Amino acid sequence: MFLLLLCLTGLPLIFHHEIDEALGYAPKMDVHAPGAAKLSLDAVGRAAIADHPGSVLLYMAWDKDEPGMVSTFTNTSVTSDPQTTVVKAFDAYTAKPVGLLGTGPMLVMLRLHTDMYLGLPGKWFMGVMGFLFIVAIISGVVLYWPFTRRLNFAAIRKQKSRRVLWLDWHNLLGVVTLVWALVVGGTGVINAYAEVMLGIWQRNELAAMAAPYAGKPTPTQLALLDKVVGNAMKTTPGMDVAFVAFPGTPFTSTHHFAVFLRGDTPLTSRLVKPVLLDGETGEVSDTSELPTYLKAVLVSQPLHFGDYGGMPLKIIWALLTMFTIIVLGSGLYLWAIKRSKVRRGARLSASTTAALGPSS
């Protein structure tokens, strides 16, 4: 049933951009004249703080498909509950707020899909469910042979009983979606434990990067954001800024900004590169590649969401999800029939034994 929940909530999430737009939950961007100049990042940052007085900036992010939009993440402090973080989009040209991000029905779907509103334990539980999904797929492969060895591939025995018909559909849809389902299930498990891996990175690689600056206080006066981002981009020409983590947030140390740079291909746009910069001076402190396990998390995301091949891939992804729902539903149906048969058989055997009386 949890696997069905994962599929049923995952299905609308494939089209969350489109659904958010249709329901009016997507930011509405103004059109600007070609060549219009963007405001400084600090102006956008000030606008975000002014929009939520008393809050601090945690992150600023840029969507590669919406270059005129800046996403800001604010909360009362850098250590506040992440679930209370306000994510708001601003116009990069006017610093005008253009709407909240991650709200509405799609947020409900996302929470049901990822943690069932149970926070980290919910994520881990869903990770276990994802693992069981993989086990179920493998058990299906083992059972495929005895059920289909005397049939042609894709045989659907339409003239036989309803049970046989659903058995054939279960086998066919299960086997043709096997690799896709394994990849989506496996990447879902990786995503469920992403926060654990982020914690490992913080304690190891990030701590090593920040070690020379240990004991330095939290900056009282932050460096200008434009200088921070400009210095970060100079370290790796050709890469663009994906997001900035402010000092004290989980993606950096208490004294540093972390700027995460990305490439421009479907793969390199996911494999971000962190640059650590001094929170007060904005000078580059260190830069490194992400460890393999975090790269695995980042690469697993598109392979789970199916959002990297345009609308046709999204539609295919949705249809394959529907096939998986049918496989799960027919599996439950076949299991229920088999169970009732076994019970009927046991009752019949018991009544026969009772009618014959005790054997001597």
Partner 1 sequence: MSEAPQHRANWWRVFGAPIVVGVLSLAGLLSALLAGDPGRYFSWFALGVPLAIAAWAYLRKA
- Two tokens, residue 183: 């990849």
Distances (CA, A) of 139 to 72, 134, 174, 175: 45, 9, 11, 12
The residues near 76 (Cβ < 8 Å, ≥ 6 apart) are 54, 55, 56, 84
By CB atoms closer than 10 A (0-12, 13-18, 19+), residue 23 is exposed
Beta carbon of residue 179, minimum distance to partner 1 (angstroms, whole number): 4
Give 103 or 148: the residue with its C-beta nearer to partner 1.
148
Give 178 or 337: the residue with its C-beta nearer to partner 1.
178
* Sole residue written with tokens 């797929």: 137
Selected range binding partner 1 among 89-97, 215-223, 238-246, 295-303, rule: CB under 8 A: 295-303
Give 90 or 305: the residue with its C-beta nearer to partner 1.
305
Beta carbon of residue 157, minimum distance to partner 1 (angstroms, whole number): 5
143 binds partner 1 (CB under 8 A): no
DSSP state of 82: G
- Two tokens, residue 310: 């345009």
Which of 153, 238, 292, 352 is in the footprint of partner 1 by CB under 8 A?
153
337 binds partner 1 (CB under 8 A): no
d(CA 264, CA 242): 11
- Two tokens, residue 276: 């650590």
152 binds partner 1 (CB under 8 A): yes
Beta carbon of residue 170, minimum distance to partner 1 (angstroms, whole number): 12
Give 233 or 313: the residue with its C-beta nearer to partner 1.
313
- Two tokens, residue 64: 């590669």
Selected range binding partner 1 among 72-80, 149-157, 188-196, 216-224, rule: CB under 8 A: 149-157
Beta carbon of residue 189, minimum distance to partner 1 (angstroms, whole number): 16
Which of 24, 145, 355, 359 is in the footprint of partner 1 by CB under 8 A?
145
39 binds partner 1 (CB under 8 A): no
CB atoms within 10 A of CB 130: 24
d(CA 48, CA 58): 11
Give 20 or 307: the residue with its C-beta nearer to partner 1.
307
**Pairing status of strand 240-245 against strand 86-91:** unpaired
138 binds partner 1 (CB under 8 A): no
162 binds partner 1 (CB under 8 A): no
d(CA 320, CA 180): 8
Which of 53, 212, 238, 312 is in the footprint of partner 1 by CB under 8 A?
312
- Two tokens, residue 289: 């590649």
148 binds partner 1 (CB under 8 A): yes
* Sole residue written with tokens 């007060």: 280
359 binds partner 1 (CB under 8 A): no
Report whether 10 contacts 305 (CB < 8 A): no
* Residue in 166, 172, 179, 168 with CA at minimum distance from that of residue 138: 179
Which of 14, 26, 167, 173 is in the footprint of partner 1 by CB under 8 A?
173
Beta carbon of residue 15, minimum distance to partner 1 (angstroms, whole number): 17
Residues in touch with partner 1 (CB under 8 A): 144-145, 148-159, 168, 172-173, 175-180, 183, 265-267, 299, 302-303, 308-310, 312-313, 316-317, 319-320, 323
